[in-house]
Amino acid sequence: MRPIKIKIRGFNSFLEEQEIDFEKLGKLGIFGIFGPTGSGKSSILDAITFALYGKIARDSSNSAKEQYININTDTARVIFEFGIKSTNEEKVYRIVREIKKDANKKTTTKQVKLIMLLPKEEVLAEKEIEFRLAVGTIIGLEYDDFIKTVVLPQGGFNDFLKMEGRDRRVILERLFNLEKYGDVLEKKIKNRVQQYEREDERISGGLASYEGITNEAFNEVDKKLNEYIKKLENIKIKKENSDIKLELNKNIYERQLKIDELKLKLEERYKSEAFIKECKEKIERDRYSELMLPLVSDYENSLDEKIKISDELNDVNKGYKKLLADKEKIEKLYRQNEEKFNIEGKMLSEKIIKLRTLTGDWDEYIKRKAEFDVHKSKYKQLDIEHTLNLKQQSEVYRQIEEQKMILYTEKEYLKKHEIDIELRQRLIKACEFSNRLEALEESFSKLNTSDDEIHKLISELKGIINTTNDSLNQVSDKINAVKAAEDDLKNNILSDSGAARTMILKYKNLYEYIIKKGKAVNSLKNINTEFYSINNDYIKLCSQFEAKTLKLDNLKALKEKLIKSEGLFNISRDLKRGDICPVCGNVIKDIKHKTQHGDFNYKISSIEKNIKFIQEALKQELQKKSGFEGKIAVLNERKEKIIAEDNSFKLNESEAIYNFIQRLKSVLRYGRNELDEVFEVFKAGVSDNINNDTIKHIENFILNDIIRLENTAEDINRQLHENQKKHENLLEQKHEISSNLSVYTAKIKIYEDTAKNNINLKQSLKNDIDEVKNTLYTVYNDCGNNPGARLDIILKSENINKKIKIKIEECEKCIQDLEEVRYKNESKLKSSEITKKEYETMLKEESRNTRLLEKKFLEIMEQLKSPADELEYTTKQYSELEYRFNSLKGDFERISEKSIEAEKNSEILEKKAAYIDNILEDKKSKLIEIFNKYNEDQYKTAEGSSIKTDSKELYSDKTMCMEAIILKIKKSKLENNIKAELLAKINDYEEDIRQLNGALNEFQKYAGSKRVSLEEYKAVEDENSNINDDLNSIQEEVIAIREKRSEILLKLEKIEELLRKKEAVSKNLSIARELKNTVGARKFAEFMALKQLDYIASAAGERLFEISSGAYGLETAEDGTFKIRDYKNGGRLRNVKTLSGGESFVVSLSLALSLSAHIQLKGSAPLELFFLDEGFGTLDEELLEVVMDSLEKVYNDRMKVGLISHVEYLKQRVPVRLIVRAAVSGEGGSKVSIEYG
């Protein structure tokens, strides 16, 4: 990672935004950050870690972020740019992180953003989680690794170089993050051993619960299952045959029932036949009426048309008579106006022709007169323009002459005032020497003043040095006092945070054990209570079971006795007196029968029912007994497990707990015996009669003690932290005072050197002053005492001459422009003269023509005011006369046409009326003919049918008038809804008859001759039901056996799985126990630390060899201590405690750089910059020189070194310096600037 630039605002001591360019700082490899204590030097490093990780290196407690914000603002903002180089390219990133305090002084992150600037600008993250992941991926280092890599704490490595024993081991574990291989690893292994032991016990308990589950039991169940499967297959075959037989009988029986049902429905439907015939007749009449209605409608339409034509004919005849009367009147008026129009119109036409000829000549005269006036006005305008052009031309001539005069005057002035160039150059040189003389004399005067001030400052600094030495002694005394107090606190075991955490953790574990023991005691009591309750129920059940078993045995004996008696009766009932007894062989003398067959069956049946009932009860009680036994076994197992766990823990931890309690007594200095009581409770078994109140009291006591222990540890750590802060502050004060002393001493030396330099400078200035005066008085004596004034006059003359030259150029340009204007005006004048002459000729000709026309109209104008007006009036009179005549003529022609048209229409309508009469007669005849024919058909049908007489009478009248015929036809027409209803009824009837006949035929076709009675069908159905019951019974048995088989198989699989797990757990337990014995007592952590140390020491040795120019090397002994290989003394090994201050610094620097490089291996890209934040103030100038020589050998093009110090010697020695000026009240925060040299 290569830092490029950082901007800080409102962060720690930086109030205003300060920008630091690391490329400029690291340009020469080594740079320094200098400033007084508290100025903000280390805050620059804090800003880098804050930008990347959101926290700072010096804040070990990770305190609230509001402490990062300057007290004079509410916002802190850091912008950090850095580059990551790969093999192909460099990527540049920018981080923006801003935090803000709200009104409640709570700090929140206002902005966090990661942007890639190169090779392509892109926002990578804007949320905290995304930001952390992205930064971790880009840099590859966690926060702790980064601060160990970037800031190298030299003093820490110098101490580490000489450490031995436990202190060195703790530092190694912290540096290499090996805590996880120490106590943490041991605890993990111990927990893992306990986990495996518990797992082994759990598996063993699980195996015990499957006792009796064997492969033999599985095979027996499997065999029984196969037998039942065979029975199931046989019964299934029987069921298939029975189902076929039942289905066949069912189909025959149902078909018989369906045929009977269809016949009943068909008979019921035939009852509606008469009504359906009547409906059909109505439909038929409606059909004939539909055929004749169009003829009726046509006849009625023709009749209506005849009436309409008659009305029209009457109207036309009336109109024709009126038109003939109007025609006679209009014709008479037309003839009168025609005669008048012929006489007056002829006169007006002749007058219009004469007036039109006169009006044309008059218009010509007016037009020519207007043109003459226009040309005359244009001629006047041309004359005015020509006069103006002449005046303008004369003005241009005057201006040209004026400009020529100005040009001549200015050129003459330039000739008279020409400047001497050589004199001008000499005056300039003389002025330069004169100015230099003044500057030298001023510098000489300032040096004299500076000498006085320097002597005064030297005396003041000597007084300050004496005061500072007193302050240094006082601070040293305070440091010793704080150190003594710190040593007292460190003697307390609780001062070690690791030991305190361990002690508190052990105490918490003890507290958890006591709580666990209390729960175990309560659980044990509950188990005992439950055990006694279940045991009592179990004893009662056992007594009931024995009583029922005895009763069962008695019933079985009674059954055997009855069976035996029944056998004797069967033998004796066929024997007679005198027969030989088949039992004893004697002759039977007398025989008595002991029982009867009916009583025997009843008794046997009753006894068997009782036996079966008792067996079922015994079976249920046996299941309950097994359940009780299982519960008792589980309770005993739980009880034994609780006791075993408690005894195991006490066996392993008893001695450790005792030692811990004794140590706790010494730490907390108890004056009471509560801890002994705690140990007594710890030793007591869970099966002992421990009081719950005692355990509760112990729990509260331990909880209070844990709080007290934590508070004590916190108080000690807080006091240590405060002492450390005081110690650090005092050390900083001491360093600051020492630094100030060095600064004051350096300043005195600088001031004395400055005074010496001033003497030499004064002598040099005096020589320069004499030399300049000599040059002025010898070489430039002709320039006078004041060459500057003379030079000013010459320069002013030069400026005037420049202005005159510009004016001459402007005059020449003006003359040129005026000449162009003059040429254009001459062209215009020539053109205007020609045009003027042409207009003069034109005006003469037009004036002569106008006078001739005026003579012609002189006589006419006396009679008429205007020929045009007279023509308009005459034309109007003729138009009105012509309009009246044409209007009458049009009216006459129109009324003549209308009378002719009316006569024609009358003839047409008469012909049309005659035609309609003929058509009506034809339609009437046709309609009567069809109606009579329809009546005859219907009458014949009615006579041959069984319809009632009143319906026949409808067709008896064959001679009716036309109106009656039409009325009868219309009445026969049915409404659409009625017709639809009748049709629906007819269709439904016919469809029902068709479907019923079709269904009956279909069923009769497939019924055949075989019939099945109800009794036969029921017998087959009962047989099938019995077979189904047997099938269901066997299927249930098969399901039960299969479930039992699956259960046994599942348990066998679980047993096998538990055995595999037990084998794996036993193997892991063995490995864990062996590992526990191997890595105990932090052996593995120390081994890892030594291996890491060997690697880093080897790399540090190579670096040390290079830095020391082959003088030293670094190695590690077998016990991990460092040894120095001194090549200057034959390569012998030296103890690190024999090293001088400079040698120790070089060795610890090599070690620190190697560790930094080792940690960087975790990162994505190497860091190209690290800082040494070291108290260089304790080193003298010789050691500082060794430090700088070493650092100059470290840096290269890819690795830059930054020093953070306030030592003045380093400030002078470092080529590039970042100066941090402390914040001043009222003037803002800390300021930074870069210095070179």
CA dihedral 821, 826, 832, 837 (to 10 degrees): 170
CA nearest 541: which of 602, 659, 620? 620
For residue 96, pLDDT over 90 is answered with yes
Integer Cα distance of 1060 and 206 in angstroms = 13
Burial class (CB in 10 A: 0-12, 13-18, 19+), 734: buried
Integer Cα distance of 405 and 369 in angstroms = 56
For residue 999, pLDDT over 90 is answered with no
pLDDT digits (tens, 9 = 90+) for 1127-1163: 878 778 888 788 877 777 778 777 777 777 666 555 5
For residue 160, pLDDT over 70 is answered with no
CA nearest 113: which of 182, 52, 67, 39? 52
For residue 1, pLDDT over 90 is answered with no
Provide the 8-state DSSP code for 26: G
Q: Which residues contact 812 (CB under 8 A, 6 or more apart)?
A: 407
Integer Cα distance of 1215 and 28 in angstroms = 7
Question: What integer pLDDT is reported at residue 855 of this predicted model?
Answer: 65
Instruction: Count Cα atoms within 13 angstroms, Cβ side, for 1109.
Output: 6
User: Helix or strand or coil: residue 930?
Assistant: helix
Position 954 confidence tier, pLDDT thresholds 50, 70, 90: very low
Q: Name which residue leads in pLDDT, 812 or 1088.
A: 812
Topology, domain 1-140+1166-1237:
Rossmann fold (3.40.50)
Question: What integer pLDDT is reported at residue 900 of this predicted model?
Answer: 79
Q: Are 80 and 94 in contact (CB under 8 A)?
A: yes
Question: What integer pLDDT is reported at residue 594 of this predicted model?
Answer: 45
Q: What percent of the chain has pLDDT over 90?
A: 4
**238-253 mean pLDDT:** 80
Question: What integer pLDDT is reported at residue 958 of this predicted model?
Answer: 43
545-549: which pairs have CB atoms within 8 A and are 24 or more residues apart? Answer: 545/618, 545/621, 545/622, 545/625, 548/614, 548/617, 548/618, 548/621, 549/618
Integer Cα distance of 141 and 1170 in angstroms = 15
**1043-1059 mean pLDDT:** 83
Q: Is the dihedral of CA 1051, 1057, 1059, 1065 positive or negative?
A: negative
Integer Cα distance of 228 and 386 in angstroms = 147
Please tell me the total number of residues recorded for the chain in this structure.
Answer: 1237
- What is the per-residue DSSP string for 942-957? HHHS---HHHHGGG--
Sole residue written with tokens 């966090």? 112
- Range of 11-20, 428-437, 684-693, 976-985 with top mean pLDDT: 11-20
Q: Are 444 and 766 in contact (CB under 8 A)?
A: yes
Check whether the bond before 119 is cis (ω within 30° of 0): yes
Q: What percent of the chain has pLDDT over 70?
A: 78
* Bridge partners (DSSP) listed for residue 90: 85
User: What letter represents residue 740's amino acid?
Assistant: N
247-252: which pairs have CB atoms within 8 A and are 24 or more residues apart? Answer: 249/1012, 249/1016, 249/1017, 249/1020, 250/1017, 252/1007, 252/1010, 252/1011, 252/1012
Question: Cβ of 812: how many Cβ atoms within 10 Å?
Answer: 13
Provide the 8-state DSSP code for 973: P
Integer Cα distance of 722 and 64 in angstroms = 18
**874-882 mean pLDDT:** 75
DSSP H stretches of helix in 497-596: 497-572
Q: What are phi and psi of 766, to 5 degrees?
A: -65, -40
CA nearest 899: which of 144, 298, 323? 323
For residue 90, pLDDT over 80 is answered with yes
Q: Which of 444-458, 638-652, 895-909, 1137-1151 has the lowest mean pLDDT?
A: 638-652
For residue 19, pLDDT over 90 is answered with yes
Radius of gyration of the chain from its Cα atoms, rounded to whole angstroms: 70
Q: Is the dihedral of CA 888, 890, 895, 900 positive or negative?
A: positive
Between CA 1232 and CA 1237, with CA 1233 as vertex, the angle to 5 degrees is 140
Q: Name which residue leads in pLDDT, 966 or 181.
A: 966
SS (H, E, C) 526-540: HHHHHHHHHHHHHHH
Q: Which of 249-258, 488-497, 724-733 has the lowest mean pLDDT?
A: 488-497
pLDDT digits (tens, 9 = 90+) for 767-800: 778 777 777 777 667 676 677 777 777 777 778 8
Which structure tokens are listed for 1171? 């800082």
Question: Cβ of 335: how many Cβ atoms within 10 Å?
Answer: 11
Tell me the domain boundaries of the chain.
1-140+1166-1237, 294-411+863-924, 794-858
Q: Which helix (H) or strand (E) holds 1124?
A: strand 1122-1126
Question: What integer pLDDT is reported at residue 832 of this predicted model?
Answer: 77
Question: Cβ of 225: how many Cβ atoms within 10 Å?
Answer: 16
Position 115 confidence tier, pLDDT thresholds 50, 70, 90: very high
Instruction: Count Cα atoms within 13 angstroms, Cβ side, for 76.
Output: 25
Q: Which of 71-75, 434-438, 492-496 has the lowest mean pLDDT?
A: 492-496
For residue 931, pLDDT over 80 is answered with no
Q: Is the dihedral of CA 686, 689, 692, 695 positive or negative?
A: negative
Q: Which helix (H) or strand (E) holds 108?
A: strand 107-118
User: Helix or strand or coil: residue 780?
Assistant: coil
pLDDT digits (tens, 9 = 90+) for 717-762: 777 778 878 887 888 788 778 877 777 787 777 777 777 777 877 7
Average pLDDT, the chain: 76
Integer Cα distance of 529 and 527 in angstroms = 5
Question: What integer pLDDT is reported at residue 78 of this predicted model?
Answer: 95
Question: What integer pLDDT is reported at residue 361 of this predicted model?
Answer: 63
Question: What integer pLDDT is reported at residue 596 of this predicted model?
Answer: 45
Which structure tokens are listed for 935? 């009546």
Q: Is the dihedral of CA 1122, 1127, 1133, 1136 positive or negative?
A: negative
Q: Which residues contact 471 (CB under 8 A, 6 or more apart)?
A: 737
Q: Is the pTM of this model over 0.75?
A: no
Position 21 confidence tier, pLDDT thresholds 50, 70, 90: very high
Position 358 confidence tier, pLDDT thresholds 50, 70, 90: low
Question: What integer pLDDT is reported at residue 535 of this predicted model?
Answer: 80
